Structure 1
Amino acid sequence: MIDDQLRDYARRTSSASRLRAEDVLVRARRSHRRRQVALSAFSAFVLVAVVAVALRPSGARPPVPAITGAAPDGCSVRSLPLPAGITGGSVIAADPTGRYVLGVPFPSDDMAPAVTILWTDGTPRLLPTGFAGTAVNASGLVAGIRGRLEDRRAAVFRDGAVVDLPAPTGATMSEAVAVNARGEIAGTAYLPGTPDFSARAVVWPPGQGAPKLLQSGGKDTFAAGVADDGTIVGTIGTREHPYRWTAAGTGTALPLPSGYRGGEGQAVAGDWAVGTASTSRGGEDAKDELTAESVVVRWNLRTGALDHGMRIVPTSVSAAGALAGRVGRDEPGIWRDGTVVPLPMLTGGTRGAAATIVGDGHTVAGWSATASGLPAPVLWQGC
């Protein structure tokens, strides 16, 4: 099952729309291309839940999810409260302290303006409609996207308002996907090109002044994450190679395991980055990519060492190198020091995913299905 998930995870291709299902949005923080793709496993769950909601009598509300008992080692799960009128949702990001958490409501309509939930110390609020938050730092600065399709713009939520970020000269679209403790924001800008658009990884400095285009080597580049020291991880080409850029904007390819030719860089924290390696070179290999084998890769950016083949579909990496994501049959879990730790779900829940792991490596946020059939945003602690 994990092998199938990993293959699916690495075969994503871009489209023009923003899909707000949980797994897609989680990956939005790492690579715009994966956010713009066909729905993932959570999305399939959403489709089932949509049917359940449609059949629910008008005005009926799902029961409040019960809190499960502590799992071995003291790991426990609790649901996050939702704003009035919202019956389900999912976490997509959190700051490294866990004070600020971002999420999306369920159900959501991809054709409607985006809606983002921001929890501060556990209290939810809805951010201005039309702003899709993708990342938040410990100061509460939220990076994201305002607008849709060809009108989308990188933006931030700060001081109670959504503010557009300045675009590189000539850019027609832009997106912000990650923010670090200093307020540096990583993202992607789209400039007119042949035959479509040229994607360029960019970074906005603290205070969100004019962005810097990162070294591209004449290829499309996509930023996925930014570490607190300014290191940016992403991808060069269409899943052609995982890539890292220094704070100065110069780039180099990340090493791949023997026998692998391409892949993506998807997240970074501290000295650690995570992504995928594939036996194809992405878009360069066209149809060959459909049968490509892929594995999860974790890089130590300080030593240059890499590990691969972890039995998890990761969505986040901690500063200590732990991974959070999906394990088993669409269950939430952590990979730490070679061991997979399944996370408990809300009572009656059978599916879920860990979206983000905070700085201490033992607090995780994500979603769990409930006995009512709806997804609920949750926090795991002591894990």
Structure 2
Amino acid sequence: MRTPGKYTAAVVAAVLAGGILAGAPAAEAVEGCQWAPATLPVPDGYRVHDLGSGDEAGAVAGTLQPASISGRLAGVVWRADGPHLLGTAFGLDTELTDVNASGVAVGSYTEYGEFPLHHAVRYTGGHFERLPDPPGYTNTEALAINARGDILGAVGETAATGVNTTVVWPADAPGTVEVLLSAPGWQVQGGIDDNGTVAAAVVDWSTGGHLVGQVLPQGGAPIRLASPVPAGDVVPQVITTHRIAGTAGDAGVFLWNHDGSVDRALPGLKSAAAMNSAGAVVGHALDGAMLFLPPGGGPAQTVALPGHDTRPREVTETGDVFGTATVYSPDPAKAVVRWHCG
């Protein structure tokens, strides 16, 4: 049985220094560089709970777990000068999912009852603000924020019904919320770009219950993503102002244009975790390795070999990858890692 306690940056760094992710060698990139990991420090008294996305410039949002069993999950933003502990919203468990270049972070806090009830929040001006619920919904989560402050989220009618209906809290209409896909059935949110365009998927019963990808331009009609496969779910996973990346059936990862047309396949990827504005994509291969696909195509580069539960979350404008990995000190612990190809 492991006793809760803090995992300092020095301990985690020492584990990684002995071999990338406890023994896995660095894979050489096509250009001759090596992907080298560096751990991000954690405030005293906390361990890493999870990591979200960031502003593509090196700031990433996440969640910390306190060493004390009586403590609460707390929001954090890692920047170049280290972790900035944002704390809890209203004294309750708080998880952060994204932060933009203006320093506005988003996520949700949780009230516990028969079912956990989530409430979407943003952190701005040094404090948390609860985001408004759409009429008829009480269970809400903020998932992503773009550069200008539009917030993508998901909502549910009650704590028992879960959270899946796609919404946006627009930056130019504070205190309001827009339900984008009111159709019944499961929905999956793929992200929001800096123009306010959302990528999502919704169950289409006319296809036998498959998920159908949607492009949802701000103020415009939904556009269906063309399927590159005869049958199967089409699920957008990440979006920029230029392209959408996601999965189609069991055929792997594809790129789509914003008009819904298929751009091309991304060979070797099973899933897409992040894409930067230049078009570089990071995700997982079939064998679990973490892959980086340069902008415009080109051979995939292995960032980390399979094992140790590596999970990419962000790729910056300069091509650095942020994610989490399991390390041993000697007990398993989750670390936030920045991989740099230099």
Paired residue total: 310
For residue 33 of structure 2, give the secondary structure of its aligned residue in structure 1: helix
Which amino acid in the other structure matches residue 267 of structure 2? M
Which amino acid in the other structure matches residue 261 of structure 1? G
Matching of residue 271 in structure 1 with residue 242 in structure 2: yes
State the Cα distance separating 1:309 from its structure 2 match: 5.6
Partner of 1:32: none
* Distance change >3 Å, CA 344–CA 196, structure 1 → 2: closer
State the Cα distance separating 1:376 from its structure 2 match: 1.7
Report the RMSD for the aligned CA atoms in angstroms: 3.5
Distance between the aligned counterparts of 2:69 and 2:100, measured in 1? Answer: 26
Which amino acid in the other structure matches residue 214 of structure 1? L
Partner of 1:214: 180
Matching of residue 91 in structure 1 with residue 51 in structure 2: yes
* Distance change >3 Å, CA 59–CA 173, structure 1 → 2: closer
Which amino acid in the other structure matches residue 170 of structure 2? P
* Distance change >3 Å, CA 206–CA 86, structure 1 → 2: same
For residue 300 of structure 2, give the secondary structure of its aligned residue in structure 1: strand
Map 1:20-59 → 2, pairs under 5 A? 53=2
State the Cα distance separating 1:156 from its structure 2 match: 0.5
Matching of residue 333 in structure 1 with residue 291 in structure 2: yes
Please point out which of 200, 211, 231 is paired with 2:165. Answer: 200
Matching of residue 342 in structure 1 with residue 302 in structure 2: yes
Please point out which of 117, 126, 138 is paired with 2:85. Answer: 126
Structure 1 residues 215-241: Cα deviation after superposition (integer angstroms, max 9, x where no partner): 445555443311001110011127621
State the Cα distance separating 1:204 from its structure 2 match: 0.8
* Distance change >3 Å, CA 198–CA 374, structure 1 → 2: closer
Map 1:219-258 → 2, pairs under 5 A? 219-237=185-203, 240-258=211-229
Which amino acid in the other structure matches residue 236 of structure 2? G
Please point out which of 13, 22, 45 is paired with 1:65. Answer: 13
* Distance change >3 Å, CA 229–CA 330, structure 1 → 2: same
State the Cα distance separating 1:74 from its structure 2 match: 5.1
Whether the 8 Å contact between 1:91 and 1:366 is mirrored in structure 2 is yes
Distance between the aligned counterparts of 1:327 and 1:74, measured in 2? Answer: 18
Q: Which stretch shows the higher mean deviation, 369-378 or 105-114?
A: 105-114
Matching of residue 114 in structure 1 with residue 51 in structure 2: no
Matching of residue 311 in structure 1 with residue 268 in structure 2: yes
* Distance change >3 Å, CA 253–CA 379, structure 1 → 2: same
Structure 1 residues 73-129: Cα deviation after superposition (integer angstroms, max 9, x where no partner): 25432111110123556533221211x212234689999843332113241133223
Structure 1 residues 13-47: Cα deviation after superposition (integer angstroms, max 9, x where no partner): xxxxxxxxxxxxxxxxxxxxxxxxxxxxxxxxxxx
Distance between the aligned counterparts of 2:334 and 2:162, measured in 1? Answer: 36
Distance between the aligned counterparts of 1:94 and 1:169, measured in 2? Answer: 30
Whether the 8 Å contact between 2:228 and 2:262 is mirrored in structure 1 is no
Distance between the aligned counterparts of 1:219 and 1:156, measured in 2? Answer: 27
Partner of 2:206: none
Partner of 2:122: 156
For residue 81 of structure 1, give the secondary structure of its aligned residue in structure 2: coil
Please point out which of 101, 109, 121 is paired with 1:138. Answer: 101
State the Cα distance separating 1:367 from its structure 2 match: 2.1
Whether the 8 Å contact between 1:191 and 1:199 is mirrored in structure 2 is no
For residue 209 of structure 1, give the secondary structure of its aligned residue in structure 2: coil
State the Cα distance separating 1:59 from its structure 2 match: 9.0
Structure 1 residues 340-383: Cα deviation after superposition (integer angstroms, max 9, x where no partner): 211258xxx855232211233x1110123335343321112246
Which amino acid in the other structure matches residue 240 of structure 1? L
* Identical counterparts, % of pairs: 24
Distance between the aligned counterparts of 1:198 and 1:184, measured in 2? Answer: 19
Distance between the aligned counterparts of 1:73 and 1:158, measured in 2? Answer: 39
Structure 1 residues 306-333: Cα deviation after superposition (integer angstroms, max 9, x where no partner): 3336323321122222221233643433
For residue 181 of structure 1, give the secondary structure of its aligned residue in structure 2: coil
Whether the 8 Å contact between 1:276 and 1:294 is mirrored in structure 2 is yes
For residue 374 of structure 1, give the secondary structure of its aligned residue in structure 2: strand
Whether the 8 Å contact between 1:272 and 1:317 is mirrored in structure 2 is no
Please point out which of 169, 179, 203 is paired with 2:145. Answer: 179
Partner of 1:353: 311
Distance between the aligned counterparts of 2:6 and 2:201, measured in 1? Answer: 46
Distance between the aligned counterparts of 2:242 and 2:67, measured in 1? Answer: 36
Please point out which of 247, 253, 257 is paired with 1:296. Answer: 253
Question: So what's the TM-score if we normalise by structure 1?
Answer: 0.70
Distance between the aligned counterparts of 2:153 and 2:189, measured in 1? Answer: 5
